[in-house]
Amino acid sequence: MSDSTIRLTTAEAMVRYLIAQRIVIDGENVPLFPGVLAIFGHGNVVSLGHSLEAHRDEIPVWRGQNEQGMGLAAAAFAKSVRRQQVMVCTSSIGPGATNMVTAAGVAMANRLPVLFISGDTFASRLPDPVLQQVEHFGHPSTTVNDAFRPVVRYWDRIMHPAQVITSLPQAVAVLLDPGECGPAFIGLPQDIAADAYDFPVSFFTTQVHEIARPRPDLGQVSRAADVIRGAKRPVIVAGGGVHYSRAEAELAAFAEEFGIPVIETVAGKSSLLASHPRYAGPIGVTGAAAANVAATGADVVIAIGTRLEDFTTGSWTVFDPDAQIIGVNAARFDAVKHRSLPVVSDAREALVDLGAALRGWSADAEWTATGSRLRIDLQQFVDERIADDGVWPPSYAQLVGLVHESATADDYVLTASGGLPGELNVNWMSKEVASFDCEYGFSCMGYEVSGAWGAAFGRATGQVYAMVGDGSYLMLNSDIYASVLSGKKFILVVCDNEGYAVIERLQVNQGGASYNNMLADSRGPGAHVRVDFRAHAEAMGALALEAGSLAEFAEALQTARAADRTTVIVTDVRASDWTEGGAFWQVGVPEVTERPGVAAARASMDAGLEAQRRGV
């Protein structure tokens, strides 16, 4: 070793570089990469695994049970810390790597930073084909790791040790970029991981990062302010970008000062407290009628930190086609959608600059009062939905109401696919900002359990609640054991409706027959068999309880809070008692059919599309 270089393997250099990356959060200097979620295989256990073990006190490794679950946990962790830290996930090549592709899709759709490192085949190709290698005739450089390309923001395969010096800083830059943020992937061939190189010592110097806050162009601010001043009925749509810029306080102050109602996307929920006077509820297909009234009536829509996906926009029918959208977003791609007037900026900085430009102006008092009435209407609606009607099994809304009653402002609630997103999005009235996670960008079944494990890493106080349907539970549940093994506790509520009830609802509502969704109409002789979720959870080391009444459910929640480990509460739930959102949603109903019900559904779909906003 000379004074300026140090000879290390590629894997060792990567680990040392990750350890050297730091970030300041709330005045505290902490690791940018606080841990690694790992399942070791022959492609990553020797070189990378050796280095991680050698540095176990500097970058802890947590054992996963399924590679997809690890990736989902890492995405949920990133959400829980508002994209200020990044988990690393590592697997061997082959099924380990391809299992992580789904999780990468979740992170990509939700704009969340996760660093995936997968073993790869030998760069030399001398021992080919190796165990788990998928060969492509005519494309020998292609491996299964190429499957990550569509679902990550940064992709690289290290083919020489020196490439680490340029690749890793680029990956970190993407992970921390407010506009380009998303997952990054590094493929590490087995021979390259073991190769040594004289790395510059300076490459491993501690680097303290700050997440950039891109300021808006003054011209864009001026134009947006002119449009807002001319508005009669402006509304703010708060998306996940409000959380990631930590702009919740600025949003609350802006809405209050200028009298503008605020409606939230699924990713933006808990941007405002439900008690805030300008809060008007969740928007869209899984939203509430009150918020959708505000969206439809608005002549100017200030979309802050949202990618405006179809559940938010009602497939672009929820806004007046003539309404002017102002796209406030760190990502230019999102800021210009549907002929929006862009303000390309960090959300907090844009709110500050727009506030200065609008000082002295306020929305029409009648419109502000309308927003206040909508908030009251929403609260009354929720109170009715969560009330005990004396019938068992309960509705989803009633269960949400009891979890909400049990929770404190320090707690965090999480869900994902199926019917629960609509139930929680409407019926959960946020007690604290940044306290809610519904993965609805990729709508990934199984996120609930793994995501709760990941969120438990990120939450320093309070309880993590996750609500999951029986279908999602069966799809991915092994991280119950991961949570017990790691000591990262959460409370899991399993809502058993005996099938994929929300998809059966769509199937039947669009004129089809119930088929292959509910257990009762699934093919095979075992449709009468029911899973013992309580026994299954206990077998993975969790405390498990079963509720046969709302009183028992409330008691189980208290027991779970006091427990020292992950607790699973199992309950039946009605299969067809839904909280309606009221927004249109476009799906592919057949144009030609022999079924009268499908024909009627197609006619209704065509009629709904007449209100669709045309744009790009």
What is the spatial distance between Cα 527 and Cα 522, in angstroms, rounded to a whole number?
A: 7
Max Cα–Cα distance, the chain, nearest Å = 81
pTM: 0.97
Tokens representing residue 437 in the block: 């996670």
The Cβ-side half-sphere exposure at 435, using a 13 Å CA radius, reads 21
DSSP-derived pairing of the beta strands 341-344 and 154-157: unpaired
Structure confidence at residue 616 (pLDDT):
60
Residue 103 CA to residue 183 CA, distance in Å, equals 10
Could you tell me the CA-to-CA distances from 183 to 78, 176, 178 in Å, in that order? 10, 10, 12
Residue range(s) occupied by CATH 3.40.50.970 in the chain: 5-209, 387-572
Alpha-carbon gap, residue 82 to 534, rounded angstroms = 33
In 130-261, the DSSP E strands lie at 154-157, 184-189, 196-200, 207-209, 234-238
Question: In the beta sheet, which residues pair with residue 8?
Answer: 197
* Class of residue 365 by CB neighbours under 10 A (exposed 0-12, middle 13-18, buried 19+): exposed
Pairing mode of beta strands 28-31, 21-25? antiparallel
CATH 3.40.50.1220 intervals, the chain:
218-377
Beta strand pairing call for 196-200 and 5-9: antiparallel
3-state secondary structure at position 22 = strand
Per-residue pLDDT at 2: 54
Amino acid at 353: D
What one-character-per-residue DSSP string does 238-256 give?
Answer: E-HHHHHTT-HHHHHHHHH
Cα radius of gyration rounded to whole Å, the chain: 25
Sign of CA pseudo-dihedral 582, 584, 587, 591: positive
CATH for the stretch 5-209: 3.40.50.970
Rounded Cα distance, 461 and 456, in Å: 9
pLDDT < 50: residue spans in the chain:
1
387-572: CATH topology is Rossmann fold (3.40.50)
How would DSSP label each residue in 456-470?
HHH-SSSPEEEEEEH
Q: Which residues of 411-432 are buried (b: 16+ CB within 10 A; e: fewer)?
A: bbbbbbbbbbbbbbbbbbbbbb
For 2-54, the pLDDT digits (tens) are 579 999 999 999 999 999 999 999 999 999 999 999 999 999 999 999 999 99
Residues 6+ apart with CB under 8 A from 141: none
pLDDT, tens digit (0-9, with 9 covering 90-100), for 423-463: 999 999 999 999 999 999 999 999 999 999 999 999 999 99
Rounded CA-CA distance 290/38 in Å is 45
Q: In this predicted structure, what is the pLDDT of residue 290?
A: 92
Q: By the 8 A CB rule, do 87 and 114 touch?
A: yes
Round to whole Å and give the CA distance between 115 and 317. 37
User: What fold, for 218-377?
Assistant: Rossmann fold (3.40.50)
Tokens of 610: 């007449």
